[in-house]
Amino acid sequence: MRRVAARPPADPGLADLAPGQRLRRLELTVTRRLDGLLQGQHRGLLPGPGSEIAGSREYRPGEDEVRRMDWAVTARTGVPHVREVDADRELTTWLLVDASPSMEFGTAELDKRELSVAAVAAVGFLTAGAGNRLGAQVLGPSGLRRFPARGGRTHLLSLLRALLAAPRSGGHDAAGHPPEPPDLGAALAATQRVATRRGLVVVVSDFLDGLPEHPDDPAPWEPALRRLAARHQVLAVEITDPRELELPDVGLITLVDPETGRRREVWTGDAVLRRRYADAAAVQRDQVRRALRRCAAAHLPLRTDRDWTADIVRHVHAQRRLAAAPAAARGGVA
């Protein structure tokens, strides 16, 4: 009998990652609508050979190459100038994904956990490129799980599969007590320790961890996020659900805090109660926005009941306009 050599296992396919091929539709949406907006478009940290124009300086005979001459500036000033460029460097992106119990809530087509996976997929596809690497830390009920920074499509798909398969909160322990809620501030500090090279850090969370009752008080995770943003470019992806912003009139309901297990019965037929709930939710979201602004983090809000791809497209276009403005001003000065 002829022996047939065993084939190596195939790369994980998108159909294996989520029921109903949801991730397959997700990938098609991401690549068709977002391709070319951000992929590989980042600047190096040091001057050197590259493609990003960093300015012009006077020509040094015997030291500079003639092919680097900046003829436009030379013509305006009458003095030979050469172009300076930023060196092309690979981009290392670190993701901090909040998979705490509060991220399991959802009343739309996607829940908050699934939308966070969609955001991770978008970041992975957008930052894909030769030499680029993607790492992640997942904050779950049992602690922080680390995925080393690697490149390639297989690594991204395995990360998405792990996020989709991450266990949900187990409710209460053997003694009947809810588990300790994960600490977002400690997770941010741990991310800073592993992100040793300057790059992009994306934090995907609802940012509800430990928000103080007074809206002017700082959130407990602010110092860690501020330290992270001092070294890296930080993108904060805020995940929300419409029922966290307003209550529908559906009669008597039981509200459960997923982090602590506390319960409260609420009569939603009370219009005053619904208005107070919406006002408090608006204050809370404004509190998160101001905290992220103080930390100098770019803010991308996503909702489970909205077209998240359109929101990402708008954000990327806005960031590109902001990045192009200083370059245009620098070109005008030169």
pLDDT in tens, 25-78: 555 565 555 544 444 455 444 444 455 566 788 888 877 778 888 898 899 899
Mean pLDDT by 10-residue block, N- to C-terminus, for the chain (334 residues)? 46 44 57 48 46 72 81 90 68 91 85 91 83 90 89 88 77 53 88 89 92 88 94 93 90 80 87 93 94 94 90 82 62 44
- Phi and psi at residue 327, to the nearest 5°: -65, -40
Strand ranges for 199-245 from DSSP E: 200-205, 233-240
Question: Which residue in 331, 283, 309 sits closest to 25, CA to CA?
Answer: 309
Q: What is the pLDDT of residue 181?
A: 62
User: In the chain, where are the structural domains located?
Assistant: 35-89, 92-325
Give Cα 8 to chain centroid, integer Å: 34
Q: Which residues of 247-277 are buried (b: 16+ CB within 10 A; e: fewer)?
A: beeeeeeeeeebbeeeeeeeebeeeeebeeb
Q: Which CATH class is domain 92-325?
A: alpha beta
Q: Find out whether 115 and 129 touch, Cβ atoms under 8 Å.
A: no
Q: How far apart are CA 299 and CA 238, in angstroms?
A: 7
Question: Which residue in 194, 224, 231 sits closest to 210, CA to CA?
Answer: 224
The pTM assigned to this predicted structure is 0.74
pLDDT in tens, 118-151: 999 988 888 877 778 899 999 988 889 999 999 8
